[in-house]
Structure 1
Amino acid sequence: MPWSILKLRNFLTSLVNVNEQIRNCQHSLTQLNIKSTNTKPEQKQRYNPGGTSALSTIKDNQNTSKITITKRRPCVFCNQDHWDSDCVNYTTLNARLSRLKVLKKCTICLRDSHKGQNCNVKKQCFYCKSSHNSALCNKRNSLSLNNTMSQRNEEHERIRPSKRKDCSTSLYNSTLTTRSKQTKETLLLCKKIKVFNPSQPQLQQNTLALFDIGSQLSFISKKLSRQLKLTETESQIMRIAPFGMKEPKSCPTARIQLNVLTTGSEIIPLQANIIDYLTNELQVVETSNELQIQNLTNYWKKPDVLIGADYFFKFIKLREIRELKSGHMLVQSKVGLMIAGNGDIKKLCKNELYPKEVVYSTNVNISTELEKFWKLETIGIQESPQDDDDDQALKHFKRTIIKQGGRYQNLINRLQHNSNLHSYHQILMDQLHSGIIEEVPPKDEVGVIHYLPHHEVLTPSKSTTKLRIVYDASAHHKGFKSLNEVLYRGPVMLPDLVGVILRYRMMKIVITADIEKAFLQLELQNEERNCTRFLWLDDIDKELTNENIKCYRFKRVPFGIISSPFLLAATLNYHLENHGSELAWEIRKNLYVDNVIISANGTEEALYKYERTKEIFAEASMNIREFLSNDEEFNERIAECDLSQTNQENFLGLKWNHERDIIRVTLKPWIGKSLTKRTILQFIASQYDPLGLLVPIMIKLKLFIQHLWKENIPWDQSLNKQDEQQWINLIKEWPTNIIELPRFIMETSQLTEFHIFTDASKVAYSAAIYILNHGYQNTYSNSFLIYAKSRIAPIKGMSIPRLELLSVLIGVRAAQFVLKQLNLENNQVTLWTDSKCVLYWIQNYTKLLPRFIQNRIEEIRKSNFELNYIPSDQNPADIATKGVSPLKLQNCKQWWKGPRWLELKKSEWPKVAIQETMNLQKQLL
């Protein structure tokens, strides 16, 4: 076979990897052998076996237990599961040094709390033997830079052999990382069980137990023992000899008493030894208590209880075992069915779960989210990936919905100080008398028991509910999950917010309303109520004592639970779908959480829909109220109790004056916080602009954030003088009121067109969409900006023609989105750009273009929009790309109305635009 430089590099890289692993294997075994005699602190192991390692415990009798070798730490640069020197996210020496600087880690030992010049660690590079960390070796990097990702994956999947006997065990463990291609897995006997404190039965936990006949003793983790507040006895030192070692290791332990509740409600007491760490995460296949083994799911979890041979046979029935098609064994026990043994996971489970060694998860952080400002992958109008949990939640909802009968100390001090304590108490008493909450019956321990913290939210501007009680289901103790973390969120079933607002602006007569206490109209089933318990005073005039506390729980779905929005939306959709009327369909389409909008063409139609809407929601035992319309006759003729009395009119965040039927476009003021990257980003995110009307203002602020990002400025570090002055210049003219716009912008009897204008610069690209209404026989025309979109150019840089192409692409996608939301997909659409190059690309079908360009051109062509050229000085999108101050935008007619000639007859449009487009077409022909 002929050799090449690339193959030679790959071979050398593979050889270096093998040598590195052998060296670490020898080091690991050396550390294991000297553990019992060496007084130095234990060294961190780099390898992690895939299963548990058998141990023998040296006590009065030779008892057995389980431990595992410590799991290696993730990559210091990207926190993923590979070696530091193999990081593919930070491949160059400069990139890695910059990353360490951001993380404030030492460049020699890669640890926190000091810098390289102060490091006392003696490090020798594995590759070049110099005094630096191996991950920061220039020679190593030059060897591996040309390797492709697929080649790296092949290296990780290849089993690396070795002739040395003294490290064969570690090599075997390391080859477990190649199981990503295997489907056969050996499962241990694991089951979720319910355990509780014998002396305090209310202290209970659902936890994972490992049933291990190879262990003579039973064990419990120290974490679970603390959670259950178990009483420790017989404290002693137990000596444990790991498998393959002659010398035992000392381990402090104590005995506890623990009760296990079986599926038949039998209580099995057991005594167990406390140990800091039982084992690594184990693969578990969850089964129901029915003999229907289908749609199973598997997951990884650490057990907190190990039930050894001393109690094993009190739970397991060895005679009642049968083999499954996958090859695994189905074992019956007093705590439910378990699946164990070796078999094909794909045949057993509905979800293909990769082995634990190659699975990792990352927390979404603010830095990642911020990058979406300029990432190319997020230029679409809407991205809505579906989670598997969403399907599960929806199926569970449809299976369980039932229609019935048409139907703490700091907090108290604060409420007393604000004179709101009596109001707070009165709300709870009203809810008690209305059947929204109830006192917890004595000895009711059904289901999961959980207590919700609660606090007040004040909204003085509201005419109905000025004080609202909010329950914090995201609160949790350290080391425990919150209620929201263990509940299904459910799929997002709300209509698109921008779509609702667009339709709102197209309604001649608009009626807004909301559902009274919407979330509190959904009843909880009895077995689920105990997870919504909360505490309150029995007598608010007495001091807070144990005797003055009452325990309540919800009978209805409380606001603040993560699944509440889904449950409300799913229930309303279910009710409106089953109603089947045309009005019910209209309500469902324009129902956002508990906000309703209805359209009408006249007062009588509006009154009819008002009455029918009240009836539709009454059938679900819901009251719809707070009606308000731009039709004053309608407002005068409906029942006074249904009319909104608020002084500050607001619809989905928009400031609406119903008497003049206008929308006020506003900005939130800068309140003079400390100047940091975090406070500036918070300020930008607080500006509410769903339709993109303020894009020319916001683009400059986003560019400033990108500048801070490029400078690697920490989130909470104060800005330097230069950046501080630049920010002050950006917001020194910052009016809160920008402009007043008509809400209603489309007559149904008119001929309507849509015009898209696109533009790009080296720093940003944008698109603006205008609706153009023509009067009867074209006697007049009027245009309005209805939607705009902009994005910052990628940090890495891109040519102006390519950015112009992206601006056309987001213009096409935005227009398709608007037309779909308004159900006007057959209307005429014209797209204008000032890039002749892009027009040439789109209209040239003969020349093969680069793949990046060709893919986007093909998507643009599929839209069948008419394409025209427009000079830059007449292009309103140019304003969004360059950005302007708020004061200039207030009076910028070109932005709010489009080019001044757009409202003229087509015969009066400037010749240059039409002529340039015709000339380009002739050139192509």
Structure 2
Amino acid sequence: MVHIEKKDDKSAQSASSNTVTVIASSCPASSVISTHVLLPTAIVYVMDSKGYSQSCRALLDSGSEVSFVSSSCVKRLGIPIEEADLQIHGVSAAPVGSSNGKVQLQVSSRIYEYATPIEAYILPRVTKPLPTTPVPGSSLNYIKGLRLADPFYFRPEDIDLLIGADVFSNILRATPVIVGPPGFPNAIDTEFGWVISGRYHANVPTNISSLHVHCELESILRSFWEIESAPSTASPVLSVEEQLCEQHYVQTHQRLSNGRYMLRLPFKLNTPVLGSSRDLAIRRLQAVERRLTSQPAMYNMYIDCMREYIRLGHMEKLPPNEVHSPSNAFYFPHHCVMKASSTTTKLRVVFDGSAKTSNGISLNETQMIGPKVHSDLLPILLRFRMWLLSILADAKMMYRQFLIHPEDRVYQRVVWRESPTSPIEDYALLTVTYGNVSAVHHANRTVQQLALDEKVKFPLASEVILRDAYVDDILSGADSLEDGLTLQKQLLQMFSSAKIELRKWTSNNANFLSHLPQELREVQVPFPLDVDQTVKSLGLQYSPATDSFTFSVVPPPNRKVSTKRTLLSDISKIFDPFGWLSPVTIKTKILFQTLWSRELSWDKPLPEDVMTTWTKYHQQLHSIDSIRIPRHAIL
């Protein structure tokens, strides 16, 4: 089985527009002699570089979220290769290989009028020839006369292509499954023809294969190196798509009579070309239900979160006559993520705009990606140190304060029910949705638009938002209590004019906070400054009580075996934007450089001397807890 884990990130949806390197895992494991299991295979047509169709043998894997193709098949097709760094691991993190590329395939059926695009990652070999041993296909009388996807399903042959669940769920036809007699496989009708799958009583040895996909390390590592780079002072050069997206926003955003903003989704085409997606959303909901049934506390939080969507008017139930119209309506699959450190929302529902529809295209693929509009974090933090009075605040549910135009809500549907025994109901999400690739730009750009629209009425607040806002956080200040209170009043009134609540106010001045209701003040002290909200092993915090910066140290997870990969992951979870800990963190970089010079593989256990050095280093790291660095820098 393959699944993809995505980091919860304020700035991206994840589901979002940022490029993710996938780390895949595959592990063949020998087993004892047992009942043989036939896996579904199909002969499909794949278009080559010259536009001709070539026959390829595919394995249909409903447990894999991504697809794979053999390097020999790619060479035969002559199609262009895109870079993609894949580290391959098996069960229990056993290393089994790697891949460095992916391709875009156009796959079609040799039996029906069906074609679909597939993104496939390249492996030297997808799997061993399947079936692993020959089986007597002539004994399956109940499948005679069927148009088989693979007429030689019973004969071990090479596999060119593994087609994952993003396509598998869309190729099943409405014909009922033909259930074989006890001890014999079933026949399943697909767009590629009938596939044979299931147990087959034959006294032959079997192989069990498993795949796991994890995609967090690269983004963590990139952040680790980029945090030390000074941001460029040059104006960014926008791509053509970013320019078009900005033009679309300017031309289509509206401000309603009550002050709220209404936005249009930035589609590349006027009408997005999407297939059906409701069936996949239902299956994903059922999978969430099965998982959460054994976790009642989390299940109740999930239910409460969805109830809140309805209560706040962020989601509304569809009338029955609209459920199946239009045909290209998009349904978000959804799941939950937990953040134990949050003082407000421990559980958040995340919507998957990257889920493929029946034609192989996702909602996120149909939209333009807008430019980054907020300031870089380091200049904001540097300015934050200049003020005598510190001011921090957070926009409550910022994404969900901006409405989506009614005509675009057909692309923001979900299925939901509070119990597996209740009927499934259809809803439309009415606001900017976390998980939609356009959400990040929509939210940040609209906060800027608010500042521009209210510049005359609230000049001080407008300046602060355009300069010191980072996603939904404000890190600013003032040189006197009077100026601070003026800024506080303007910020509250300006955001209130757009029906947005500013909360989690924090300051080094108690008199400043006393002018705010208690429920708007931040209860968590110190205030974490790692605004991307990832879990850090060493994170920068601001303590308003002492008006100083501190560091929090989180021990790495207990591991029986540490490798170069796990060490890099732990080292990269350091948030030190000012470089104050460079005399300490330089040791980790030297340690990693040592590993690199020894040419160790990514998943080989660390040498004893390196492990001793790393363990000692991390034990001493806890002394950093006592470091206090004054926030206010006197120039």
Bin the TM-score by the shorter chain: 0.5 to 0.7
3-state SS in 2 of match to 1:575 = helix
Pick aligned residue for 2:548 from 649, 662, 672: 662
Task: Tell me the equivalent position of 1:431.
Answer: 309
Instruction: State the partner residue of 2:442.
Output: 567
Opposite residue 681 of structure 1, the aligned amino acid is L
Amino acid aligned to 1:656: Y
State the alpha-carbon separation in 2 of the partners of residues 718 and 479 from structure 1.
44
Q: 1:235 to 1:463 in 2, by over 3 A?
A: closer
3-state SS, counterpart of residue 457 of structure 1 = strand
- 1:489 maps to what in 2? 369
Q: 1:596: Cα distance to partner?
A: 1.4
Matched, 1:500 2:384: no
**Aligned counterpart for 1:512 among listed residues 392, 399, 403:** 392
1:830-869 matches, cutoff 5 A: none
Match of 1:391 among 232, 240, 243: 243
Instruction: Tell me, in whole angstroms, the C-alpha distance in 2 between the residues paired with 1:728 and 1:473.
Output: 41
Return the alpha-carbon distance in structure 2 between the equivalents of residues 504 and 399 of structure 1: 34
Letter in 2 for 1:443: E
| Alignment CA distance shift 1:729-1:524 (3 Å) | same
Superposed displacement of residue 504, structure 1: 0.9
| Kept after mapping to 2: 8 A contact 1:507/1:599 | yes
Q: CA deviation at 1:75?
A: 10
Work out the CA distance in 2 between the residues paired with 1:594 and 1:692: 25
**Larger Rg, first or second structure (1 or 2):** 1
Distance 1:374 1:571 in 2: 30
1:400 to 252, 277, 286: 252
Distance 1:677 1:668 in 2: 19
Q: Which protein has the bigger helix share?
A: 1
User: What is the letter of the counterpart of residue 288 of structure 2?
Assistant: L
Q: Please tell me whether residue 611 in structure 1 is matched to residue 497 in structure 2.
A: no
Secondary structure, counterpart of 1:572 in structure 2: helix
Q: Conserved in 2, the CA contact under 8 Å of 1:497 and 1:592?
A: yes
Is contact 2:396–2:500 with CA below 8 Å preserved after alignment?
A: yes
Partner of 1:780: none
SS of residue in 2 equivalent to 1:570: helix
Describe the shift of the 1:668–1:221 C-alpha distance in structure 2 as closer, same or farther (beyond 3 A). Answer: same
What is the 5 A alignment of 1:694-733?
694-733=581-620
Q: How does 1:216-227 map to 2 (within 5 A)?
A: 220-221=113-114, 223=116
Matches within 5 A, 1:869-888: none
2:308 counterpart SS class = helix
Normalization by structure 2: what TM-score? Answer: 0.58
**Match 2:513 to one of 609, 625, 635:** 635
- Contact kept in structure 2, 1:448 and 1:528, CA below 8 Å: no
Q: Are the counterparts in 2 of residues 632 and 659 from structure 1 also a CA contact under 8 Å?
A: no
Instruction: Indicate the SS of the match to 1:734.
Output: helix
Q: For the Cα contact (< 8 Å) 2:221–2:569, is it kept in 1? A: no
Cα distance in 2 for partners of 1:609, 1:741 equals: 26
Secondary structure, counterpart of 1:597 in structure 2: strand
Let me know the Cα RMSD of the aligned residues.
4.8
Counterpart among 739, 746, 769 of residue 627 in structure 2: 739
Counterpart secondary structure, 1:583: helix
Instruction: Report if the CA contact (8 A) 2:48-2:78 is conserved.
Output: no
Are the aligned partners of 2:451 and 2:461 in contact in 1 as well (CA < 8 Å)? no
The amino acid of 1:650's aligned partner reads P
Partner of 1:808: none
Measured in 2, the distance between the counterparts of 1:369 and 1:385 equals 25
Q: Partner of 1:472 in structure 2?
A: 352
CA contact (8 A) 2:231 2:378 kept: no
Change (3 A) 1:374 1:234: closer
Distance 2:222 2:394 in 1: 37
1:549 equivalenced with 2:424 (yes/no): yes
1:693 aligns with 2:587: no
Instruction: Name the CA distance, whole Å, in 2 between partners of 1:682 and 1:668.
Output: 13
Q: CA deviation at 1:486?
A: 4.1
- What secondary structure, in the 3-state scheme, does the structure 2 residue paired with 1:665 have? strand
State the structure with bigger RCO (CA 8 A, min sep 6), 1 or 2: 2
Q: SS in structure 2 opposite 1:510?
A: strand
After superposition, the Cα gap between the structure-2 partners of 1:501 and 1:371, relative to the gap in structure 1 and judged at 3 Å, is closer
**Deviation at residue 501 of structure 1 after TM alignment:** 0.8
Cα distance in structure 2, aligned partners of 1:668 and 1:479: 45
C-alpha spacing 1:559/1:521, structure 2 compared with 1 (3 Å): same
Provide the rounded CA distance (Å) in 2 between the counterparts of 1:621 and 1:368. Answer: 34
2:461 touches 2:494 (CA, 8 Å); kept in 1?
A: no
> Aligned equivalents of 1:649 and 1:690: distance in 2?
16
- 1:697 Cα deviation (Å)? 1.7
1:523 paired to 2:403: yes
Contact 1:504 1:510 in 2 (8 A): yes
Q: CA deviation at 1:589?
A: 0.6
- Structure 2 vs 1, CA of residues 637 and 71 (structure 1 numbering), >3 Å: closer, same or farther? closer
> Secondary structure of the equivalent of 2:436?
coil
Counterpart of 2:141 in structure 1 is none
Contact 1:521/1:622 (CA < 8 Å) preserved in 2? Answer: yes
Please say if 1:411 is aligned against 2:317.
Answer: no
Question: Structure 1 residues 742, 394: CA separation in 2 closer, same or farther (over 3 Å shift)?
Answer: same
Provide the secondary structure at the position in 1 that maps to 2:254.
coil
Residue 322 (structure 2) aligned to one of 443, 447, 465: 443
CA-CA distance at 1:401 after TM superposition: 0.9
- Counterpart in the other structure of 2:31: none
Contact 1:511 1:597 in 2 (8 A): yes
| DSSP 3-state at the match of 2:426 | strand
Q: Aligned in 2, Cα 1:698/1:486: closer, same or farther, shift over 3 Å?
A: farther
**Partner amino acid for 1:601?**
D
Aligned-partner Cα distance in 2 for 1:50–1:71: 13
Partner of 1:599, secondary structure, is strand
Task: Report the number of matched residues.
Answer: 433
Distance 1:275 1:423, change over 3 A: closer
CA offsets, 1:633-677, max 9 Å, x none? 111232333322334433445422212211113443233323111
Alignment of 1:601 onto 2:601: no
Q: State the AA in 2 paired with 1:733.
A: Q
- The 3 A distance-change label for structure 1 pair 569 and 693 is same
Alpha-carbon distance between aligned partners in 1 of 2:112 and 2:338, rounded to the nearest angstrom = 50
Q: Which amino acid aligns with 1:506?
A: M
> Could you tell me whether the CA contact under 8 Å between 2:338 and 2:346 is conserved in 1?
yes
Pick closer, same or farther for the CA change 1:477–1:50 going to 2, 3 Å: closer
* 476 and 719 in structure 1: CA distance in 2 versus 1, 3 angstrom threshold: farther
What's the % identity of the aligned pairs? 24
Secondary structure of the structure 2 residue equivalent to 1:682 = helix
Q: Which amino acid aligns with 1:411?
A: V
Q: Which amino acid aligns with 1:558?
A: T
Cα 1:564/1:73, change in 2 over 3 Å: same
Which residue in the other structure is 1:779 paired with? none
Structure 2 counterpart of 1:577: 452
Please report how far the alpha carbon of residue 600 of structure 1 lies from its aligned counterpart in structure 2 after TM superposition: 1.8
In 2 relative to 1, CA 412–560 (structure 1 residues): closer, same or farther, beyond 3 Å?
same
Measure, in 1, the Cα distance between the counterparts of 2:303 and 2:612: 50
Question: Given the superposition, is the C-alpha separation of residues 385 and 682 from structure 1 closer, same or farther in structure 2, using an over 3 Å criterion?
Answer: farther
Call closer, same or farther: CA 1:429–1:596 in 2, change over 3 Å: same
Output one character per residue of 1:781-817: Cα deviation in whole Å (capped at 9) or x when no partner: xxxxxxxxxxxxxxxxxxxxxxxxxxxxxxxxxxxxx
What does the per-residue CA deviation read over 1:552-597, in whole Å, with 9 as the maximum and x for residues that have no partner? 2200012232321111111111121122224312222101111113
Any idea what SS the aligned residue of 1:552 has?
strand
Gaps of 5+ in 1: 1-41, 55-69, 82-101, 106-206, 210-216, 226-232, 238-255, 259-273, 277-363, 747-751, 753-925
CA contact (8 A) 2:336 2:347 kept: yes
Select between 685-694 and 668-677 the one with higher mean Cα deviation.
668-677
CA apart distance, 1:714: 2.5
Query: Displacement, 1:423?
Result: 3.6
